[in-house]
Amino acid sequence: MHYINKIAATAAALGCVLSTPLYAADQAGKTQPAQFSYNYAQISFVDLDAGFEGLMIGGSHDVGQDLAISASYMSTDSSSALDYDVFTIGLVHHQRLAQIPRSDLALHGEILHASLDYMRAGSIRSDDDNGLRFGGMIRHQVQKNLEVFGDLSYSSLYDHDLGLTAGANLELNEQFAVIASVELSDDDMLLLGIRMELK
């Protein structure tokens, strides 16, 4: 019960903080379509500070005017014969911020499944877990081909963890962009990848 209460309390706190700009924009009658596209596919190299390296594939697709579905799969391993894989699927509510020009607020929630495989006593053992992640991201267009973003999220996977992510997207052309980000959490992660916009 304590586990459930902690998740609910954190969700409520994040929801109140992150939904305030959306509520203010609605009250002012200034809501507009999102500044950025939420239709894309992405492949990235990831490096976790726990010694894991690998690839992540994922993407997002709009299913409504301000709602998108997202999914990702990360597969990593380490030099000590450990494999760590994570699958996520979720929803993103996105909306332009009237108070901050060229900016979006994206509230997201995901279901996660993780699998940690390791060797013990000459045999392969597995430690699987399911969890939830939710939070909010602010995306801001600095110039025509450059976006910066920040994300605050909470995950219940394996243990309770807050994560803070900062990154940037640099457009190479109308279809492709380079993305780089750093996530600070229990398992810090560096990500570098290519994003392809989908029409």
Instruction: For residue range 151-194, list pLDDT tens digits in order.
Output: 999 999 998 899 999 999 999 999 999 999 999 999 899 999 99
- Alpha carbons within 13 A on the beta-carbon side of 35: 23
Which CATH number characterizes residue 91's domain?
2.40.160.20
- Rounded Cα gap, residues 111 and 88, in angstroms: 6
Is residue 188 within 8 A of residue 46, CB to CB? The reply is no
Q: Which pLDDT score, from 0 to 100, does residue 125 have?
A: 84
The list of the chain residues with pLDDT below 70 reads 1-32
Residues near 46 by Cβ (< 8 Å), separated by ≥ 6?
52, 53, 54, 55, 56, 74, 76, 189, 190, 191
Q: Which residues in 9-52 belong to E strands, given as ranges?
A: 40-48
- The residue type found at 51 is G
SS3 at position 129: strand
Cα dihedral: 96, 99, 105, 107 (round 10):
-110
Q: Which pLDDT score, from 0 to 100, does residue 31 have?
A: 56
What is the extent of the structural domain holding 120?
2-197
Question: Which residue do the tokens 């954190």 mark?
Answer: 10
Structural domains in the chain (count):
1
> pTM for the whole thing?
0.83
- Rounded Cα gap, residues 2 and 7, in angstroms: 9
Strands 83-96 and 67-77: antiparallel
- Rounded Cα gap, residues 156 and 175, in angstroms: 35
